[in-house]
Amino acid sequence: MAGLKSWAEKGRVLAYDETQKITFANVGRLFASLEPGPALDAMDKLFENLLNGIRASPYNFPGTAYRCAVQSRKKLGAIFRAKLEEKKIHNRDSDANDDLMDGLMKIKDEEGNRLSDDEVIDNIVSLIVAGYKSTAMAAMWAVYHLAKYPNVLKKLREENMALSKERNGGFITSEDVASLKYTNKAVEESIRVANIAAFVFRTAVRDVEYQGYIFPKGWTIVPWVRYMHTNPEHFDDPLTFNPDRWNEPAKPGTYLVFGGGSRICAGNMLARIQLALFIHHLTVRYKWELVNPDAPIIYLSHPRPSDKGEVIVSKI
Ligand code: HEM
């Protein structure tokens, strides 16, 4: 809520940058009770370096994105280790279970073994890498499309204002989120059109025949899921932002925004809840318009408007 308030105070913001700040503040708090401020901003920069290095060629010498990522990962490890040591002292005599790090420190397998400190830190870093920019980008596309589809925004406002009135404009619960039927459809549609993961990787564990082609055992297969979600055979008028298409579930095998099978995105429900909360607070209190509605879209590394979704924002 504080993040959105700052949008209206600034009056003109880049949705791409601002949704990242909001999402990072959320995951920082949820995962390790990190509060917004200069320290969190510094960590945000380290995560950005880390993400840039994930796709870079692995040349570990000065000046490369890979080396910068390796160094940033070490610094992040040290920050989370300090947090973990602090928690060990603080939580010794209490049953605190306030954030994901507390949960990971306590979790035991069937034989009573706990995760090592390194494993706790690895999990936190990996989950932030997987869940931070992805959720932020879906939120940015929600801002963008709701500015372009006033009829959708109107319906969202009606639904969310009714709930907000019941809750006196305050926080809403997970049960409330489940009751926001149209909002949840808008969340799904934002994720579909965002097409954050263009593809997923799979290995053929046996010879597979598909439409007359044989994929031999051991081959790497790259299903191009972005194509699935923009294929008119799967979704009517696929480039239109239409939450009502989710009155019916997608046809089997046509919707893989979170991947599928045993490796399906572990954070898909968290992402959906975060997006519903974001849309709730945005639509209830603010109005906004795109500065450059016709800005071209850049597709690499992930789709975004070339002007980073610049918007003029004010309180309703
Ligand atoms: C809109 C937001 C998100 C999108 C579009 C997204 C998309 C994906 C995709 C496509 C995969 C690959 C799945 C596969 O290979 O079948 C994946 C994996 C994963 N995601 Fe997400 N994700 C999002 C948010 C999150 C969040 C919030 C978290 C955690 C906090 C998260 C954690 C993970 C993890 C741990 C994996 C690896 C799962 C495994 O290999 O077992 N993701 N995600």
Task: Tell me the average pLDDT across 27-45.
Answer: 91
Residues 6 or more apart whose CB falls under 8 angstroms from that of 107 comprise 114, 115
| CB 265 less than 6 A from any atom of ligand 1 | yes
Q: How confident is the model at residue 91 (pLDDT cuts 50, 70, 90)?
A: confident
| CB 196 less than 6 A from any atom of ligand 1 | yes
Task: Tell me the average pLDDT across 100-107.
Answer: 93
Q: How far is the CA of 292 from the centre of ligand 1 (A)?
A: 31
Q: Is the pLDDT of residue 97 over 80?
A: no
Q: So what's the ipTM on this one?
A: 0.98
- Note the pLDDT of residue 21: 93
Q: Is the pLDDT of residue 183 over 90?
A: yes
Q: Is the pLDDT of residue 184 over 90?
A: yes
- Note the pLDDT of residue 300: 81
Element (H, E) at 30: helix 15-32
Q: How far is the CA of 302 from the centre of ligand 1 (A)?
A: 15
Of these ranges, 48-62, 138-152, 158-172, the one predicted with the greatest mean pLDDT is: 138-152
Q: How confident is the model at residue 55 (pLDDT cuts 50, 70, 90)?
A: confident
Q: What residue ranges do the domains of the chain occupy?
A: 1-315
Quick one: 109 exposed, middle or buried, by C-beta within 10 A (0-12, 13-18, 19+)? Answer: exposed
Residue nearest to atom 7 of ligand 1 (CA): 258
Q: How far is the CA of 274 from the centre of ligand 1 (A)?
A: 14
Counting other chains too, the contacts that 170-179 makes at CB distance below 8 Å and 24 or more residues apart are 172/277, 172/280, 174/273, 177/273, 177/276, 177/277, 177/280
Contact between 167 and 50 under an 8 Å Cβ cutoff? The reply is no
Q: Is the pLDDT of residue 169 over 90?
A: no
Q: How far is the CA of 125 from the centre of ligand 1 (A)?
A: 13
Tokens of 261: 């099978």
Q: Which residue has the higher pLDDT, 299 or 159?
A: 159
**80-94, 199-213, 287-301: the lowest-pLDDT one:** 80-94
Q: Is the pLDDT of residue 96 over 90?
A: no
pLDDT digits (tens, 9 = 90+) for 222-275: 999 999 999 999 999 999 999 999 999 999 989 999 998 889 999 999 999 999
pTM, two decimal places: 0.93
Residue type for 8, please? A
- Note the pLDDT of residue 302: 85
Q: Is the pLDDT of residue 128 over 90?
A: yes
Tokens of 161: 């204002």
3-class SS string, 245-307: HHHCCCCCCCCCCCCCHHHCCCCHHHHHHHHHHHHHHHHHHEEEEECCCCCCEECCCCCEECC
Nearest to residue 125, comparing CAs of 68, 89, 83?
Answer: 83
CA 180 to chain centre: 20
Task: Tell me the average pLDDT across 130-152.
Answer: 96
Task: Tell me the average pLDDT across 147-161.
Answer: 97
Contact between 43 and 31 under an 8 Å Cβ cutoff? The reply is no
| CB 204 less than 6 A from any atom of ligand 1 | no
Task: Tell me the average pLDDT across 307-316.
Answer: 96
| CB 127 less than 6 A from any atom of ligand 1 | yes
- Note the pLDDT of residue 98: 81
Residue 231 phi/psi, 5-degree rounding, is -90, 120
Q: How far is the CA of 55 from the centre of ligand 1 (A)?
A: 17
Hey, which CATH number is domain 1-315, 3.40.50.300, 1.10.3720.10, 1.10.630.10, 3.40.718.10?
Answer: 1.10.630.10
Residue 208 phi/psi, 5-degree rounding, is -125, 135
Residue type for 257, please? V
The SS3 of residue 311 is strand
Residue nearest to atom 27 of ligand 1 (CA): 131
- Note the pLDDT of residue 220: 95
Query: 């809403």: which residue's tokens?
Result: 172
Query: 């504080």: which residue's tokens?
Result: 2
| CB 257 less than 6 A from any atom of ligand 1 | yes
To the nearest whole number, what is the mean pLDDT of the chain? 94
Give the whole-number percent of the chain exceeding pLDDT 90: 84
CA 26 to chain centre: 11
